[in-house]
Structure 1
Amino acid sequence: MWTATGSNLSGPAQHLRLTGDGMAAVILDVSLPGADLGGLLLLDTALVLAERRTDARPSSPRRAGSVLWSDRESLRLQGDAPQFPMAVIDFSRTSFPDNAAWHLQISGGLESATMGALLLLVNERNTVTATAFQNAGKPRVVDHIVLSAVYADAARIMLEHALASDDFADGADFPDGSLGATLMSLFDQLFPEQSITDVRLRRERSPALFASDLQAAVKIFEVS
Protein backbone atom coordinates (compact mmCIF):
# COMPACT_ATOMS: atom_id res chain seq x y z
CA MET A 1 0.00 0.00 0.00
CA TRP A 2 1.14 3.55 -0.63
CA THR A 3 0.16 6.80 1.06
CA ALA A 4 1.19 10.32 0.05
CA THR A 5 0.84 12.85 2.86
CA GLY A 6 1.11 15.82 0.49
CA SER A 7 -1.91 14.85 -1.60
CA ASN A 8 -3.66 12.88 1.16
CA LEU A 9 -4.15 10.01 -1.30
CA SER A 10 -3.44 6.30 -0.85
CA GLY A 11 -4.00 3.04 -2.67
CA PRO A 12 -2.82 -0.51 -3.30
CA ALA A 13 0.61 -0.85 -4.92
CA GLN A 14 0.95 -4.56 -5.69
CA HIS A 15 -0.55 -7.82 -4.49
CA LEU A 16 1.24 -11.19 -4.77
CA ARG A 17 0.10 -14.60 -3.58
CA LEU A 18 2.84 -16.62 -1.92
CA THR A 19 2.93 -20.41 -2.01
CA GLY A 20 5.35 -23.10 -0.91
CA ASP A 21 7.50 -23.51 2.17
CA GLY A 22 10.75 -22.08 3.45
CA MET A 23 12.49 -18.86 2.41
CA ALA A 24 11.33 -17.06 -0.72
CA ALA A 25 12.59 -13.91 -2.47
CA VAL A 26 9.81 -11.61 -3.61
CA ILE A 27 10.34 -8.64 -5.91
CA LEU A 28 7.74 -5.88 -5.89
CA ASP A 29 7.78 -3.68 -8.99
CA VAL A 30 5.49 -0.68 -8.59
CA SER A 31 4.93 2.42 -10.71
CA LEU A 32 3.04 5.26 -9.03
CA PRO A 33 1.55 8.29 -10.83
CA GLY A 34 3.55 11.39 -9.93
CA ALA A 35 0.45 13.59 -10.06
CA ASP A 36 -0.95 11.69 -7.06
CA LEU A 37 2.15 12.08 -4.91
CA GLY A 38 3.63 14.78 -2.72
CA GLY A 39 5.06 15.41 0.70
CA LEU A 40 6.06 12.16 2.42
CA LEU A 41 5.53 8.89 0.53
CA LEU A 42 4.79 5.95 2.84
CA LEU A 43 5.21 2.40 1.51
CA ASP A 44 3.60 -0.27 3.70
CA THR A 45 4.36 -3.92 2.99
CA ALA A 46 2.39 -6.60 4.80
CA LEU A 47 2.25 -10.39 4.78
CA VAL A 48 -1.34 -11.47 5.46
CA LEU A 49 -3.15 -14.74 5.72
CA ALA A 50 -5.07 -15.28 2.49
CA GLU A 51 -7.61 -17.81 3.71
CA ARG A 52 -9.12 -18.94 7.02
CA ARG A 53 -7.29 -21.84 8.63
CA THR A 54 -9.48 -24.30 10.47
CA ASP A 55 -6.54 -26.46 11.58
CA ALA A 56 -4.52 -23.71 13.24
CA ARG A 57 -3.46 -23.88 16.84
CA PRO A 58 -5.36 -21.63 19.28
CA SER A 59 -2.37 -19.26 19.54
CA SER A 60 -1.77 -19.12 15.76
CA PRO A 61 -3.36 -16.75 13.21
CA ARG A 62 -6.42 -18.34 11.70
CA ARG A 63 -8.63 -15.61 10.21
CA ALA A 64 -8.23 -14.47 6.62
CA GLY A 65 -6.55 -11.07 6.53
CA SER A 66 -4.56 -11.59 9.73
CA VAL A 67 -1.28 -9.64 9.48
CA LEU A 68 1.70 -11.96 9.94
CA TRP A 69 4.39 -9.36 9.29
CA SER A 70 4.57 -5.73 8.22
CA ASP A 71 7.14 -3.10 7.37
CA ARG A 72 7.02 0.61 6.56
CA GLU A 73 9.45 2.67 4.49
CA SER A 74 9.15 6.42 3.97
CA LEU A 75 10.54 8.70 1.29
CA ARG A 76 10.37 12.48 1.49
CA LEU A 77 9.66 13.69 -2.02
CA GLN A 78 9.92 17.39 -1.38
CA GLY A 79 12.62 17.94 1.18
CA ASP A 80 12.15 19.77 4.45
CA ALA A 81 11.65 23.24 2.98
CA PRO A 82 8.11 24.54 2.62
CA GLN A 83 6.90 23.75 -0.88
CA PHE A 84 3.45 24.16 -2.33
CA PRO A 85 1.67 24.32 -5.68
CA MET A 86 1.66 27.46 -7.77
CA ALA A 87 -0.21 28.62 -10.84
CA VAL A 88 0.22 31.50 -13.27
CA ILE A 89 -3.15 33.08 -14.05
CA ASP A 90 -4.67 36.33 -15.28
CA PHE A 91 -5.76 38.28 -12.19
CA SER A 92 -8.21 40.31 -14.27
CA ARG A 93 -10.37 37.18 -14.43
CA THR A 94 -10.38 36.83 -10.64
CA SER A 95 -11.40 38.86 -7.62
CA PHE A 96 -7.76 39.85 -7.01
CA PRO A 97 -6.52 43.34 -7.98
CA ASP A 98 -5.56 43.40 -11.66
CA ASN A 99 -2.14 44.91 -10.93
CA ALA A 100 -1.15 42.66 -8.02
CA ALA A 101 1.92 40.55 -8.76
CA TRP A 102 1.11 37.48 -6.66
CA HIS A 103 -1.25 36.11 -4.05
CA LEU A 104 -0.74 33.31 -1.51
CA GLN A 105 -3.89 31.40 -0.58
CA ILE A 106 -4.05 29.50 2.72
CA SER A 107 -7.05 27.34 3.51
CA GLY A 108 -7.89 24.57 5.94
CA GLY A 109 -6.67 23.90 9.45
CA LEU A 110 -3.17 23.11 10.67
CA GLU A 111 -3.90 19.37 10.33
CA SER A 112 -4.68 19.76 6.60
CA ALA A 113 -2.22 18.51 3.99
CA THR A 114 0.18 21.26 2.91
CA MET A 115 -0.27 20.50 -0.78
CA GLY A 116 -4.00 21.14 -0.49
CA ALA A 117 -3.81 24.08 1.90
CA LEU A 118 -1.34 26.38 0.11
CA LEU A 119 -1.48 27.82 -3.40
CA LEU A 120 0.74 30.56 -4.78
CA LEU A 121 -0.93 32.46 -7.62
CA VAL A 122 1.23 34.57 -9.96
CA ASN A 123 -0.35 37.23 -12.13
CA GLU A 124 0.61 36.62 -15.75
CA ARG A 125 -0.12 40.29 -16.48
CA ASN A 126 2.86 41.19 -14.27
CA THR A 127 5.55 40.13 -16.72
CA VAL A 128 8.45 40.84 -14.38
CA THR A 129 7.18 38.38 -11.77
CA ALA A 130 5.97 35.78 -14.27
CA THR A 131 9.32 35.88 -16.08
CA ALA A 132 11.21 35.50 -12.79
CA PHE A 133 9.42 32.23 -12.11
CA GLN A 134 10.02 31.06 -15.67
CA ASN A 135 13.74 31.71 -15.14
CA ALA A 136 13.84 30.17 -11.66
CA GLY A 137 16.19 27.42 -12.87
CA LYS A 138 18.77 29.96 -14.12
CA PRO A 139 17.68 33.30 -12.66
CA ARG A 140 19.17 36.65 -13.62
CA VAL A 141 19.94 39.23 -10.94
CA VAL A 142 16.53 40.86 -11.39
CA ASP A 143 14.89 37.43 -11.14
CA HIS A 144 16.74 36.76 -7.87
CA ILE A 145 15.39 40.01 -6.47
CA VAL A 146 11.80 39.27 -7.49
CA LEU A 147 11.90 35.69 -6.19
CA SER A 148 13.43 36.92 -2.93
CA ALA A 149 10.57 39.40 -2.50
CA VAL A 150 7.98 36.69 -3.19
CA TYR A 151 9.63 34.31 -0.72
CA ALA A 152 9.80 36.99 1.97
CA ASP A 153 6.15 37.90 1.48
CA ALA A 154 5.05 34.25 1.45
CA ALA A 155 7.04 33.58 4.62
CA ARG A 156 5.42 36.59 6.31
CA ILE A 157 1.90 35.49 5.34
CA MET A 158 2.54 31.91 6.45
CA LEU A 159 4.03 32.86 9.81
CA GLU A 160 1.32 35.42 10.53
CA HIS A 161 -1.25 32.73 9.73
CA ALA A 162 0.52 30.34 12.11
CA LEU A 163 0.94 32.85 14.95
CA ALA A 164 -2.73 33.79 14.73
CA SER A 165 -3.67 30.22 15.71
CA ASP A 166 -3.63 29.19 19.37
CA ASP A 167 -2.88 25.61 18.26
CA PHE A 168 0.47 26.76 16.88
CA ALA A 169 2.45 26.63 20.10
CA ASP A 170 5.76 25.48 21.53
CA GLY A 171 5.80 21.69 21.73
CA ALA A 172 2.89 21.22 19.31
CA ASP A 173 3.11 18.08 17.19
CA PHE A 174 1.61 17.99 13.69
CA PRO A 175 1.44 15.09 11.19
CA ASP A 176 4.14 14.89 8.52
CA GLY A 177 3.10 16.72 5.38
CA SER A 178 0.51 18.80 7.20
CA LEU A 179 0.20 22.57 7.09
CA GLY A 180 1.10 22.76 10.77
CA ALA A 181 4.29 20.74 10.23
CA THR A 182 5.26 22.96 7.28
CA LEU A 183 4.67 26.13 9.28
CA MET A 184 6.60 24.71 12.24
CA SER A 185 9.50 23.82 9.94
CA LEU A 186 9.49 27.33 8.49
CA PHE A 187 9.40 28.88 11.97
CA ASP A 188 12.34 26.75 13.15
CA GLN A 189 14.28 27.69 10.03
CA LEU A 190 13.74 31.43 10.36
CA PHE A 191 13.69 31.77 14.16
CA PRO A 192 16.00 29.05 15.50
CA GLU A 193 16.36 28.84 19.27
CA GLN A 194 13.46 31.25 19.75
CA SER A 195 10.14 30.29 21.28
CA ILE A 196 6.84 30.70 19.48
CA THR A 197 5.51 32.55 22.51
CA ASP A 198 8.27 35.17 22.35
CA VAL A 199 7.92 35.72 18.60
CA ARG A 200 4.12 35.96 18.88
CA LEU A 201 4.42 38.61 21.60
CA ARG A 202 6.95 40.55 19.53
CA ARG A 203 4.61 40.54 16.55
CA GLU A 204 1.68 41.71 18.68
CA ARG A 205 3.58 44.44 20.54
CA SER A 206 5.89 45.62 17.76
CA PRO A 207 4.73 44.61 14.28
CA ALA A 208 7.40 46.82 12.65
CA LEU A 209 10.19 45.08 14.56
CA PHE A 210 8.73 41.68 13.69
CA ALA A 211 8.71 42.68 10.00
CA SER A 212 12.37 43.73 10.21
CA ASP A 213 13.31 40.52 12.02
CA LEU A 214 11.63 38.54 9.26
CA GLN A 215 13.47 40.46 6.54
CA ALA A 216 16.74 39.61 8.23
CA ALA A 217 15.75 35.96 8.70
CA VAL A 218 14.86 35.37 5.05
CA LYS A 219 17.97 37.32 3.93
CA ILE A 220 15.86 39.38 1.57
CA PHE A 221 17.56 40.50 -1.65
CA GLU A 222 20.78 38.63 -0.91
CA VAL A 223 22.12 37.21 -4.18
CA SER A 224 24.48 34.31 -3.76
Structure 2
Amino acid sequence: MKGKTAFPFLTLPDDAIRFGGWTIGDPDQPLVTAHDVLEGWDYERDLEVAVAFRVDFDAASRALGMDADDLALAVVLKGGTGAGSMPRRVDLLDRTAISAASPAAGLAAGIPSAQLSGRLRLELSVVLERAPTAPGVLSPRWPGARLWRTEKDILLEDGGDSRFPIEMASFSRAFTDGGYSRASWYLDWTSQNFHADFGGSVRIYVNSDLPEIQERFVAGDGPTLQAILGDVMSQMIGVALDYEDCDDLLAECEDNTVGRQIRNWMDLSFPGRTVGSVRNLRDSAPGRFRAAILSAAEVEDVQ
Protein backbone atom coordinates (compact mmCIF):
# COMPACT_ATOMS: atom_id res chain seq x y z
CA MET A 1 0.00 0.00 0.00
CA LYS A 2 2.94 2.33 0.45
CA GLY A 3 4.47 4.21 -2.43
CA LYS A 4 7.93 3.45 -3.78
CA THR A 5 9.60 6.48 -2.22
CA ALA A 6 13.02 5.65 -0.75
CA PHE A 7 12.87 6.99 2.82
CA PRO A 8 16.07 7.70 4.80
CA PHE A 9 14.76 5.50 7.61
CA LEU A 10 13.01 2.16 8.05
CA THR A 11 9.25 2.06 7.41
CA LEU A 12 6.40 -0.32 8.17
CA PRO A 13 5.71 -3.27 5.86
CA ASP A 14 2.13 -4.09 4.89
CA ASP A 15 2.18 -7.32 6.90
CA ALA A 16 2.56 -5.28 10.12
CA ILE A 17 -0.74 -3.52 9.40
CA ARG A 18 -4.29 -4.77 9.86
CA PHE A 19 -6.39 -2.33 7.86
CA GLY A 20 -10.14 -2.92 7.81
CA GLY A 21 -10.84 -0.89 4.67
CA TRP A 22 -12.75 2.31 3.94
CA THR A 23 -16.40 2.82 4.85
CA ILE A 24 -18.64 5.74 3.90
CA GLY A 25 -22.25 6.86 4.14
CA ASP A 26 -24.64 9.36 5.63
CA PRO A 27 -24.01 10.74 9.15
CA ASP A 28 -25.69 8.78 11.97
CA GLN A 29 -26.50 5.94 9.55
CA PRO A 30 -24.81 2.55 9.02
CA LEU A 31 -21.75 2.97 6.81
CA VAL A 32 -20.95 0.75 3.83
CA THR A 33 -17.79 -0.24 2.01
CA ALA A 34 -16.44 2.66 -0.05
CA HIS A 35 -16.17 1.98 -3.78
CA ASP A 36 -14.56 3.99 -6.55
CA VAL A 37 -17.85 5.82 -7.28
CA LEU A 38 -20.34 7.10 -4.72
CA GLU A 39 -23.73 6.94 -6.42
CA GLY A 40 -26.44 9.49 -5.78
CA TRP A 41 -24.42 12.19 -4.05
CA ASP A 42 -25.58 15.81 -4.37
CA TYR A 43 -24.52 19.18 -2.96
CA GLU A 44 -26.96 18.92 -0.06
CA ARG A 45 -25.66 15.59 1.24
CA ASP A 46 -23.16 15.47 4.11
CA LEU A 47 -20.95 12.38 4.35
CA GLU A 48 -19.25 10.37 7.06
CA VAL A 49 -16.15 8.20 6.61
CA ALA A 50 -14.60 5.68 8.96
CA VAL A 51 -11.77 3.15 9.15
CA ALA A 52 -10.73 0.39 11.55
CA PHE A 53 -7.01 -0.07 12.09
CA ARG A 54 -4.56 -2.20 14.06
CA VAL A 55 -0.78 -2.46 14.16
CA ASP A 56 1.11 -5.65 14.98
CA PHE A 57 3.65 -4.01 17.28
CA ASP A 58 5.92 -7.06 17.44
CA ALA A 59 6.24 -7.05 13.64
CA ALA A 60 6.46 -3.24 13.60
CA SER A 61 9.25 -3.10 16.16
CA ARG A 62 11.28 -5.67 14.23
CA ALA A 63 10.78 -3.74 10.99
CA LEU A 64 11.76 -0.43 12.57
CA GLY A 65 14.67 -1.73 14.64
CA MET A 66 13.45 -0.76 18.11
CA ASP A 67 11.68 -2.27 21.10
CA ALA A 68 7.89 -2.49 20.92
CA ASP A 69 7.55 -0.68 24.28
CA ASP A 70 9.66 2.18 22.88
CA LEU A 71 7.45 2.58 19.82
CA ALA A 72 4.71 5.23 19.91
CA LEU A 73 2.69 5.78 16.74
CA ALA A 74 -0.22 7.89 15.55
CA VAL A 75 -2.79 7.13 12.87
CA VAL A 76 -3.83 10.16 10.81
CA LEU A 77 -6.91 10.42 8.56
CA LYS A 78 -7.03 13.20 5.94
CA GLY A 79 -9.56 14.06 3.27
CA GLY A 80 -9.08 16.05 0.08
CA THR A 81 -11.84 17.25 -2.23
CA GLY A 82 -12.22 18.94 -5.59
CA ALA A 83 -12.44 18.05 -9.26
CA GLY A 84 -9.33 17.45 -11.35
CA SER A 85 -6.11 15.62 -10.73
CA MET A 86 -5.26 17.34 -7.43
CA PRO A 87 -7.49 18.16 -4.43
CA ARG A 88 -8.38 21.84 -4.05
CA ARG A 89 -8.39 21.46 -0.27
CA VAL A 90 -7.08 18.85 2.18
CA ASP A 91 -8.36 18.63 5.74
CA LEU A 92 -7.21 16.72 8.81
CA LEU A 93 -10.26 14.60 9.64
CA ASP A 94 -9.11 12.55 12.64
CA ARG A 95 -5.98 11.52 14.53
CA THR A 96 -5.34 9.05 17.31
CA ALA A 97 -2.29 7.68 19.13
CA ILE A 98 -1.59 3.94 19.38
CA SER A 99 0.99 1.88 21.24
CA ALA A 100 1.84 -1.72 22.10
CA ALA A 101 -0.57 -1.44 25.03
CA SER A 102 -3.35 -0.07 22.78
CA PRO A 103 -2.61 -1.16 19.20
CA ALA A 104 -6.08 -0.72 17.64
CA ALA A 105 -7.82 2.44 16.48
CA GLY A 106 -11.11 3.44 14.95
CA LEU A 107 -11.11 6.76 13.10
CA ALA A 108 -14.20 8.54 11.81
CA ALA A 109 -15.18 11.99 10.62
CA GLY A 110 -18.11 13.85 9.16
CA ILE A 111 -17.59 15.94 6.03
CA PRO A 112 -20.09 18.76 5.37
CA SER A 113 -21.49 18.91 1.85
CA ALA A 114 -20.26 22.49 1.47
CA GLN A 115 -16.68 21.12 1.56
CA LEU A 116 -17.28 18.48 -1.11
CA SER A 117 -17.16 18.54 -4.88
CA GLY A 118 -16.11 16.25 -7.69
CA ARG A 119 -13.94 13.75 -5.86
CA LEU A 120 -13.12 12.70 -2.32
CA ARG A 121 -9.54 11.57 -1.74
CA LEU A 122 -8.96 9.86 1.58
CA GLU A 123 -5.50 9.25 3.02
CA LEU A 124 -4.63 7.13 6.05
CA SER A 125 -1.09 7.41 7.43
CA VAL A 126 0.89 5.96 10.29
CA VAL A 127 3.45 8.41 11.70
CA LEU A 128 5.92 8.41 14.57
CA GLU A 129 4.20 9.96 17.59
CA ARG A 130 7.32 10.64 19.69
CA ALA A 131 11.06 10.11 19.38
CA PRO A 132 12.23 6.69 20.65
CA THR A 133 14.66 6.56 23.55
CA ALA A 134 16.84 3.81 22.03
CA PRO A 135 16.46 3.81 18.24
CA GLY A 136 18.47 1.61 15.91
CA VAL A 137 20.83 2.99 13.30
CA LEU A 138 18.11 3.23 10.64
CA SER A 139 15.12 3.67 12.94
CA PRO A 140 12.86 6.69 12.45
CA ARG A 141 13.65 9.34 15.05
CA TRP A 142 11.60 12.46 14.34
CA PRO A 143 7.97 12.84 15.46
CA GLY A 144 5.72 13.06 12.42
CA ALA A 145 7.91 10.80 10.24
CA ARG A 146 5.53 8.92 7.95
CA LEU A 147 5.96 5.16 8.19
CA TRP A 148 3.02 3.83 6.16
CA ARG A 149 0.21 5.20 3.99
CA THR A 150 -2.78 4.08 1.95
CA GLU A 151 -5.26 6.12 -0.10
CA LYS A 152 -8.75 5.92 -1.55
CA ASP A 153 -10.03 8.06 -4.44
CA ILE A 154 -13.85 8.25 -4.64
CA LEU A 155 -15.70 9.87 -7.53
CA LEU A 156 -18.76 11.73 -6.27
CA GLU A 157 -22.24 12.08 -7.85
CA ASP A 158 -21.65 9.31 -10.41
CA GLY A 159 -18.84 11.10 -12.13
CA GLY A 160 -18.44 14.39 -10.28
CA ASP A 161 -16.96 16.21 -13.25
CA SER A 162 -20.16 15.68 -15.24
CA ARG A 163 -21.71 18.56 -13.31
CA PHE A 164 -20.41 22.09 -13.35
CA PRO A 165 -17.69 22.56 -10.68
CA ILE A 166 -19.55 24.58 -8.04
CA GLU A 167 -18.85 24.86 -4.32
CA MET A 168 -20.54 26.61 -1.40
CA ALA A 169 -18.27 28.98 0.55
CA SER A 170 -18.56 31.73 3.12
CA PHE A 171 -17.19 34.74 1.24
CA SER A 172 -16.68 36.69 4.48
CA ARG A 173 -14.21 34.00 5.60
CA ALA A 174 -12.80 32.67 2.33
CA PHE A 175 -12.28 35.95 0.47
CA THR A 176 -11.44 38.48 3.15
CA ASP A 177 -9.26 40.65 0.89
CA GLY A 178 -11.29 40.53 -2.32
CA GLY A 179 -13.83 43.28 -1.72
CA TYR A 180 -16.71 41.08 -2.88
CA SER A 181 -18.05 39.57 0.33
CA ARG A 182 -21.64 40.38 -0.71
CA ALA A 183 -21.38 38.90 -4.21
CA SER A 184 -23.78 36.02 -4.87
CA TRP A 185 -21.15 33.99 -6.70
CA TYR A 186 -17.56 34.21 -7.87
CA LEU A 187 -15.72 32.58 -10.80
CA ASP A 188 -12.16 31.46 -10.04
CA TRP A 189 -10.00 30.58 -13.07
CA THR A 190 -6.75 31.51 -14.82
CA SER A 191 -7.70 33.19 -18.08
CA GLN A 192 -4.36 32.66 -19.85
CA ASN A 193 -4.32 28.84 -19.69
CA PHE A 194 -6.85 27.52 -22.20
CA HIS A 195 -5.13 24.12 -22.35
CA ALA A 196 -5.65 23.40 -18.63
CA ASP A 197 -8.02 20.69 -17.42
CA PHE A 198 -11.44 22.33 -17.05
CA GLY A 199 -12.55 20.37 -13.98
CA GLY A 200 -9.31 21.05 -12.14
CA SER A 201 -8.78 24.73 -12.98
CA VAL A 202 -12.25 26.32 -13.02
CA ARG A 203 -14.38 26.75 -9.93
CA ILE A 204 -17.59 28.64 -9.17
CA TYR A 205 -18.11 29.62 -5.53
CA VAL A 206 -21.65 30.37 -4.31
CA ASN A 207 -21.85 32.65 -1.28
CA SER A 208 -23.22 30.72 1.70
CA ASP A 209 -23.44 34.00 3.65
CA LEU A 210 -26.52 34.89 1.58
CA PRO A 211 -29.30 32.55 2.82
CA GLU A 212 -31.67 33.12 -0.11
CA ILE A 213 -28.99 32.35 -2.72
CA GLN A 214 -27.84 29.33 -0.74
CA GLU A 215 -31.40 27.97 -0.46
CA ARG A 216 -32.09 28.46 -4.16
CA PHE A 217 -28.83 26.83 -5.14
CA VAL A 218 -29.29 23.81 -2.85
CA ALA A 219 -32.89 23.41 -4.05
CA GLY A 220 -31.68 23.35 -7.67
CA ASP A 221 -33.68 26.45 -8.66
CA GLY A 222 -33.49 26.60 -12.46
CA PRO A 223 -33.39 30.39 -12.97
CA THR A 224 -30.71 30.75 -10.28
CA LEU A 225 -28.49 28.10 -11.86
CA GLN A 226 -29.15 29.59 -15.29
CA ALA A 227 -28.03 33.02 -14.08
CA ILE A 228 -24.84 31.59 -12.56
CA LEU A 229 -23.94 29.51 -15.59
CA GLY A 230 -24.83 32.31 -18.01
CA ASP A 231 -22.56 34.71 -16.16
CA VAL A 232 -19.70 32.22 -16.20
CA MET A 233 -20.15 31.52 -19.91
CA SER A 234 -20.22 35.25 -20.69
CA GLN A 235 -17.04 35.89 -18.73
CA MET A 236 -15.06 33.05 -20.27
CA ILE A 237 -16.28 33.52 -23.84
CA GLY A 238 -15.59 37.25 -23.54
CA VAL A 239 -11.99 36.67 -22.44
CA ALA A 240 -11.39 34.24 -25.32
CA LEU A 241 -12.76 36.72 -27.86
CA ASP A 242 -10.15 39.26 -26.78
CA TYR A 243 -7.47 37.09 -28.38
CA GLU A 244 -6.95 37.90 -32.06
CA ASP A 245 -6.13 34.26 -32.80
CA CYS A 246 -9.11 33.01 -30.75
CA ASP A 247 -10.32 30.61 -33.47
CA ASP A 248 -6.96 28.87 -33.85
CA LEU A 249 -6.30 28.95 -30.11
CA LEU A 250 -9.54 27.16 -29.22
CA ALA A 251 -9.17 24.69 -32.11
CA GLU A 252 -5.88 23.48 -30.63
CA CYS A 253 -7.47 22.64 -27.26
CA GLU A 254 -8.22 18.99 -26.50
CA ASP A 255 -11.31 17.48 -24.89
CA ASN A 256 -11.97 18.41 -21.24
CA THR A 257 -9.81 21.54 -21.42
CA VAL A 258 -10.88 25.11 -20.68
CA GLY A 259 -10.55 26.10 -24.33
CA ARG A 260 -12.64 23.20 -25.60
CA GLN A 261 -15.41 24.02 -23.10
CA ILE A 262 -15.41 27.65 -24.24
CA ARG A 263 -15.59 26.53 -27.86
CA ASN A 264 -18.54 24.28 -27.04
CA TRP A 265 -20.32 27.14 -25.29
CA MET A 266 -19.77 29.43 -28.26
CA ASP A 267 -21.18 26.85 -30.65
CA LEU A 268 -24.18 26.34 -28.36
CA SER A 269 -24.86 30.05 -27.91
CA PHE A 270 -24.11 31.18 -31.47
CA PRO A 271 -24.70 28.22 -33.80
CA GLY A 272 -23.32 28.65 -37.29
CA ARG A 273 -21.55 31.95 -36.53
CA THR A 274 -17.84 32.56 -36.93
CA VAL A 275 -15.65 33.81 -34.12
CA GLY A 276 -15.36 37.14 -35.93
CA SER A 277 -19.13 37.61 -36.13
CA VAL A 278 -19.55 36.69 -32.46
CA ARG A 279 -16.89 39.25 -31.54
CA ASN A 280 -18.68 41.89 -33.64
CA LEU A 281 -21.96 41.09 -31.89
CA ARG A 282 -20.34 41.49 -28.49
CA ASP A 283 -18.88 44.85 -29.44
CA SER A 284 -21.90 46.26 -31.29
CA ALA A 285 -24.81 44.71 -29.37
CA PRO A 286 -23.59 43.50 -25.96
CA GLY A 287 -27.15 43.03 -24.71
CA ARG A 288 -27.98 40.60 -27.51
CA PHE A 289 -24.63 38.89 -27.00
CA ARG A 290 -25.31 38.22 -23.32
CA ALA A 291 -28.96 37.34 -23.89
CA ALA A 292 -27.97 34.64 -26.40
CA ILE A 293 -25.56 33.12 -23.89
CA LEU A 294 -28.11 33.30 -21.08
CA SER A 295 -30.64 31.51 -23.29
CA ALA A 296 -28.12 28.75 -24.00
CA ALA A 297 -27.46 28.40 -20.26
CA GLU A 298 -31.04 27.38 -19.49
CA VAL A 299 -31.15 24.56 -16.96
CA GLU A 300 -33.97 22.15 -17.76
CA ASP A 301 -33.49 19.52 -15.07
CA VAL A 302 -30.97 19.57 -12.24
CA GLN A 303 -32.40 16.69 -10.23
Which TM-score band (shorter chain)?
0.5 to 0.7
Q: Residues 152-204 of structure 1: CA distance to partner in whole angstroms, max 9, x if unpaired?
A: 21221121122123343167231121111111111112211111111012112
Which secondary structure state, in structure 2, belongs to the residue aligned with residue 92 of structure 1?
helix
Q: Does 1:128 pair with 2:212?
A: yes
Change (3 A) 1:188 1:202: same
Structure 2 counterpart of 1:113: 197
Deviation for aligned residue 1:99: 1.6
Deviation for aligned residue 1:150: 1.2
Deviation for aligned residue 1:84: 4.1
Residue identity opposite 1:105 in structure 2: D
Contact 1:123 1:130 in 2 (8 A): yes
Q: How well do the aligned residues superpose, as a CA RMSD in angstroms?
A: 3.1
Residue identity opposite 1:166 in structure 2: E
Q: Does 1:99 pair with 2:176?
A: no
Please give the alpha-carbon distance, in whole angstroms, between the structure 1 residues aligned to 2:277 and 2:214: 37
Deviation for aligned residue 1:117: 2.0
Q: Residues 14-55 of structure 1: CA distance to partner in whole angstroms, max 9, x if unpaired?
A: xxxxxxxxxxxxxxxxxx8235x9xxxxxxxxxxxxxxxxxx
Change (3 A) 1:77 1:192: farther
Contact 1:101 1:122 in 2 (8 A): yes
Q: Does 1:7 pair with 2:84?
A: yes
Structure 1 counterpart of 2:30: none
Structure 2 counterpart of 1:66: none
Please give the alpha-carbon distance, in whole angstroms, between the structure 2 residues aligned to 1:211 and 1:182: 17
Structure-to-structure mapping, 1:35-46, within 5 angstroms: none
Contact 1:163 1:200 in 2 (8 A): yes
Q: Residues 115-173 of structure 1: CA distance to partner in whole angstroms, max 9, x if unpaired?
A: 2221101111111221122222xxxxxx2222221122122112112212334316723
The correspondence for 1:34, drawn from 131, 136, 154, is 154
Please give the alpha-carbon distance, in whole angstroms, between the structure 1 residues aligned to 2:193 and 2:244: 12
Change (3 A) 1:77 1:223: closer
Normalized per residue, the structure richer in strand is: 2
Which secondary structure state, in structure 1, belongs to the residue aligned with residue 254 of structure 2?
coil
Structure 2 counterpart of 1:154: 232
Structure 2 counterpart of 1:177: 256
Contact 1:169 1:196 in 2 (8 A): yes
Contact 1:112 1:179 in 2 (8 A): yes
Extract unaligned runs of 5+ from structure 2. Answer: 1-82, 87-151
Change (3 A) 1:134 1:215: closer
Contact 1:168 1:180 in 2 (8 A): no
Which secondary structure state, in structure 2, belongs to the residue aligned with residue 187 of structure 1?
helix
Please give the alpha-carbon distance, in whole angstroms, between the structure 2 residues aligned to 1:152 and 1:145: 10
Contact 1:84 1:118 in 2 (8 A): no
Please give the alpha-carbon distance, in whole angstroms, between the structure 1 residues aligned to 2:301 and 2:199: 28
Identity fraction in percent: 24
Contact 2:84 2:200 in 1 (8 A): yes
Please give the alpha-carbon distance, in whole angstroms, between the structure 1 residues aligned to 2:180 and 2:154: 34
Extract unaligned runs of 5+ from structure 1. Answer: 1-5, 10-31, 38-75, 137-142
Deviation for aligned residue 1:8: 4.7
Which secondary structure state, in structure 2, belongs to the residue aligned with residue 121 of structure 1?
strand
Please give the alpha-carbon distance, in whole angstroms, between the structure 1 residues aligned to 2:168 and 2:85: 24
